[in-house]
Amino acid sequence: MGNYKFIISSIIFALFIAVVLFEAGFKQGSQKNLSYAAEKASSSVVNIFISNRGINRARNAVGSGVIFSNEGHIVTNTHILINATSIFVEFNNGEITEAILIGADKYSDIAVLKINGFKDLNPIETAESSNIKVGDEVLAIGNPFGVGKTVTSGIISATGRDYGNPYLELLQTDAAINPGNSGGALLNKEGNLIGINSSIYSKTGTYSGIGFAIPSEKVIQVATELIKFGKVRNSWIGHFQVRQTRLNLNNNLISALSIIKIEETSGINNPLELNGVSEGDIILKINNLPATWVNLTTALKLTLPGDEIKFEIYGEDDNREVLVKTVASN
């Protein structure tokens, strides 16, 4: 009996040691992954300073940015460039150079700068933000309060947030983000860009554990528009006329303020018609919001060419959903 108890105790002790070693190895492996990610992306993230007094007084306001291309394009946030007459970029080695503004989009809060005369830049590698899951480990790299490049870690707390803009589907993270982090990188544990840090929710204006990043897929889409055209082209769904109307459903009158009727569509290759929206259709919702003229024009304003707008259309038997792919307006 004594030997039996000794054997059982030995097995339990061995299992305990195995669990401890496994957890230690897991933590060490995770730390190594995050260290690798930070090292890999560090030279792709820059500090940004704005001023109206020249390079010697370049530290009046601060932000961050990421190197987007070998040609010297740098992505940052539009809001940090407000009232800037001079923009400067600082690299890992402390070198500062002046940048020019290629374009800025206030709706997505994405801007593109350009620096000239630099070789061997290290553009950020990107990952598909649509693959991100709640609980994934992330790193934030930026220039908080102008103290210099800083790395913080956390997880993805939520996806698809509409904090300030329902069409961006922001990533939420608990990685420390403070003033100055705006425009910096949110990375996965492989060191690839999954978002541009843009805002925080805080009653004090500093870190509170709720930060938001613009998803990398939206960043690439907007930045590409800005580089090619200097602006984000307006989205278009064809020529059409609508009017607000009323609809009686089961003796429940839906207000004229919440639904619209397609009165007329026209033109060759009209996106509405191509995607199954016809004259006479009654629109109940637009991107899950009440079907008002304001919400329709807002959807067009805040989506990019190629994005889809979801219409819920009334049917006597069943309502149907139609995704209308927008195109660039002429």
Give catalytic residues, as residue numbers. Answer: 79, 109, 182
Give phi and psi for 185, each to the nearest 5.
-95, 140
> How far is the C-alpha of 141 from the C-alpha of 149, rounded, in Å?
7
Within the chain, residue ranges assigned H as helices are: 2-42, 216-229, 271-274, 293-302
Tokens of 19: 């669990």
Task: Give the CA dihedral 31, 33, 35, 38, nearest 10 degrees.
Answer: -140
Phi/psi of residue 309, nearest 5 degrees: -110, 130
d(CA 57, CA 53): 6
Cβ atoms 287, 276 nearer than 8 A: no
The C-alpha atoms of residue 285 and residue 139 are separated, in whole angstroms, by 37
Gap between the Cα atoms of 132 and 213, Å rounded: 12
Give the type of residue at 124: I
CB 90 within 8 A of CB 146: no
What DSSP string runs through 109-144? TEEEEE--S--S--PPPB--GGG--TT-EEEEEE-G
How many angstroms from the chain centroid is the CA of residue 275?
A: 27
| Structure-block tokens of residue 91 | 């690299």
